[in-house]
Chains A and B, each alone.
Chain A
Amino acid sequence: MACQCGNEEQNREEFLAPLRELLEDYESKEKYLIPILQDAQEEYGYLPKDVLREISGFLNLSFSQVYGVATFYSQFHLEPRGENIIRVCMGTACHVRGGEKILEKIKDELGIEDGGTTDDLHFTLESVACIGACGLAPVIMVNDDTHGRLTPEQVPEIIEEYK
């Protein structure tokens, strides 16, 4: 979110500068919408409204179309997210080997629901479809680290690692 004080226009420009820079790599074609959203999210951590608006202008697409795509795919987020993303695998193999219990334990530990972010913006918790590490079920990913063959008792220890 841009700073609310002082020169708003200037803040907005500063805020959008990284986006404008990454847009230079693209032509104004609809087929680049998803790659642009991916790059923008990489840059901002989520997709703020101003960013979506700027992208819709660049690609000459309606704002609603850009919004439609951004909300269709589960990869995209319109709200700020925690510094550490905990993904709990809910695939079949993990389900059979107790993935649900792991999710419950993490919810308890962090005091947030599935999809929620802690107030200090430290953790975001999400349950995801299969992450393809079924041999290690049940599995969670914290950022890019995979933790497998888990039991609920190990959860507090893992969370502690990222505090």
Chain B
Amino acid sequence: MEQSIYRSHILVCGGTGCVSSGCKEVQEALKDELKEKDLRDEVKIVETGCHGFCEKGPIMVMYPEGVFYCEVTPEDMEELVEEHILKGRTVERLLFTEPTSDDTIPSYTDIDFYSKQQRVVLSNCGKIDPEEIEEYIAKDGYEAVGRVLTNMEPQEVIDEVKDAGLRGRGGGGFPTGLKWQFAADEDSDKKYVICNADEGDPGAFMDRSLLEGDPHRIIEGMIIAGYAMGADEGYVYVRAEYPLAIDRLQKAIDQAEEYGLLGENLFDSGFDFKLQIKKGAGAFVCGEETALMASIEGKRGMPRPRPPFPAQKGLFGKPSNINNVESFANVPYIMREGADAYNSIGTEGSKGTKVFALTGNINNTGLAEVPMGITIEEIIYDIGGGITEGKDFKAVQIGGPSGGCLTQEHLDLPIDYDSLIEAGAMMGSGGLVVMDEDTCMVDVARFFLDFTQSESCGKCTPCREGTKRMLEILEKITSGEGEEGDIAQLERLAENIKSTSLCGLGQTAPNPVLSTLEYFRDEYEAHIYEDNCPAGVCEELTGDYYVIDEDTCIGCTACVDVCPVDVISGEQGEAHVIDEEGCITCGACAETCPVDAISQA
């Protein structure tokens, strides 16, 4: 097929976030526009994986200039093609505005969100078309596996990964090289490599973005792992909730087979490796490795006691090794650039980079890859652009339902596996949910317990019954019926569940309660002893109407206009009044008020 030389490439993000905000329609409009202006031979549209900046989707990057347009709509395309492509002028109004300075930034690389990241694992995400294997190969893809299979002994590969200091990115942080060693040391005619892509932590989506944006990187990492431990078959266990990721990964597997990168006798080394996808069926506990293997075997996804460890007796009773998506994605870089290049990034005990999913009350939600050891402050303020609506930072929940929350006093804490554990949180899969001053921490704890309780598989008693009892107490407190002794009871249950549960789900389930109790005990006490929810979230503990402070009100009528039930009265320039009878406590008025004169009674 003849390849045209294009003068411009337009990269349109095709990640799930941007699909939801309408990138498909934008692409269609762009195509039509290019056709109309007869530019199809000059300008190429490339649909890429996630750019990570989901908040601002749909996202579009124009090359060779590297101009970054965000929140584009199909209606913008006419102007964009006319101005940018034909006349060479940047369309100001579609540029990104830095929330901290209000400056508009034209270039991709100058936006704080990107310039402060270090992209190793995500280096191709948003830059290449994930459905074209050639694009991955052009970015040095499959070079590492070629070198490994033709020049290295399996033990050398394991030693390299050990030297790199890679630790499991799924949460636990167990040294990956050591895990491979265990599986390699087992003598067996059959072994399995499994990729855990059952990303269930609410607030984490880095694995999905990797699978959608750079699926070949995972495949390459898995082949290398297979070679290192002598496994000739691999499974990728993906959540069924990620249809686009499954689709792109399947295409990538098919292409790799076609190119002889999966199958028999790879690179003439005599090594065979085949890979298949297993779709999950919706059970959070299947992120636990023994439960995940039970699920692949067609059983209920329940964990089992260890030993025997999966490295000895895993899938179908054979030695197996399970790593997370992001862990595998690190492997090609390590083998290509060498352990020394890799372990020069990060801190003493935590090497390399980590991808974090920034969500919650933060300006720049999205995916950010940073070197280990960066502080929480740098992530939230420099990359994340600070708290939405200029509110105050209250806490950040790290590590999903297994993690804990950190506060103002931890802002300068370097993020690595060990310092997080010390502070009572954990890396988990890397979800960072930022909460502002209006968040009730008791309600957050209740939210997480509600989640773990409903996802508990029910096999062991401490987790099944214990989380239920804890949830009941939290519900009691948030509904205003808390009593003396509740906090002590929560703490007692938490310690028991942590020390006696069978698997990681139960062992970590009490963490959100324990860490909120440690840092926000006064909020629990206010709920219990003062019948008050300081953040104004728990309905039973807040007034059932809003009032306007007469002295502060400037009479701007903004609240009158937004009130959906028209119960605010008052003339321009005079203090307004809310009719408490009709107020439905929707809070719209308080949000609109420019001088914060409105509060809940």
Query: A residues touching B (Cβ–Cβ < 8 Å)?
Result: 29-35, 37-38, 68-69, 72-76, 90-93, 95-97, 128-137, 139, 144, 146-148, 152-153
Contact = CB atoms under 8 A, between A and B. Distances in A.
B298 A129 contact: no
A75 B281 contact: yes
Interface string B14-28: 001101110000000
B254 interface: no
Contacts of B564: 153
Contacts of A146: 16, 19-20
A73 B57 contact: no
Given A73-B282, A135-B57, 13 more contacts: A31-B297, A31-B298, A32-B298, A34-B279, A37-B281, A92-B360, A97-B361, A134-B357, A135-B53, A135-B55, A135-B359, A136-B21, A136-B55
Chain B CB within 10 Å, residue with most, of A92, A131, A135, A136:
A135
B541 interface: no
Nearest to A74: B282
Contacts of B204: 130, 132
B447 interface: yes
A116 to B, nearest CB: 17
Contacts of A133: 16-17, 20, 54, 205
A70 to B, nearest CB: 9
A129 B300 contact: no
Contacts of B455: 129
B295 interface: yes
Contacts of B439: 96
Interface string B275-306: 00001111110000000000111111100000
B379 interface: no
A130 B298 contact: no
Contacts of B54: 133-136
Interface stretch (B157-165, B194-202, B406-414, B525-533): B194-202
B296 A31 contact: yes
B279 A132 contact: no
B281 A134 contact: no
B271 interface: no
B283 A74 contact: yes
Interface residues of B, number: 55
A95 B397 CA distance: 13
Interface string B408-436: 00000000000000000000000101010
A137 B295 CA distance: 30
5 contacts: A30-B297, A32-B298, A75-B281, A92-B431, A96-B359
Interface string B197-218: 0011111110010000000000
B381 interface: no
B309 interface: no
Chain A CB within 10 Å, residue with most, of B205, B243, B316:
B205
A135 B298 contact: no
A75 B240 contact: yes
A132 B241 contact: yes
Interface in B433-462: 433, 435, 439, 444, 447-448, 451, 455, 457
B453 to A, nearest CB: 12
B533 to A, nearest CB: 14
Nearest to B52: A135
B234 interface: no
Contact of A132 (B205, B360, B397): B205
Contacts of A152: 586
Given A130-B200, A131-B241, A136-B17, A92 B298 contact: no
B230 interface: no
A35 B279 contact: yes
Nearest to A96: B360
B20 A69 contact: no
Contacts of A92: 202-203, 359-360, 397, 400, 431, 433, 447-448
Nearest to A61: B298
Contact of B451 (A35, A75, A129): A129
Nearest to A146: B20
A134 B297 contact: no
A137 B439 CA distance: 15
A128 B283 CA distance: 11
Nearest to B450: A90
Contacts of B431: 92
B330 to A, nearest CB: 21
Chain A CB within 10 Å, residue with most, of B203, B282, B301, B451:
B203
Contacts of A128: 241
B347 to A, nearest CB: 27
Given A69-B298, A132-B241, A134-B54, A34 B281 contact: yes
B365 interface: yes
Contacts of B346: none
B156 to A, nearest CB: 34
B366 interface: yes
B267 interface: no
Given A34-B298, A97-B361, A91 B203 contact: yes
Nearest to A71: B300
B366 A130 contact: no
B520 interface: no
A139 B444 CA distance: 18
Nearest to B443: A95
Chain A CB within 10 Å, residue with most, of B243, B298, B299, B564:
B298
Nearest to A59: B298
B545 interface: no
A99 to B, nearest CB: 10
B359 A68 contact: no
B242 interface: yes
B194 to A, nearest CB: 13
A97 B19 contact: no
Contacts of A34: 279, 281, 295, 298
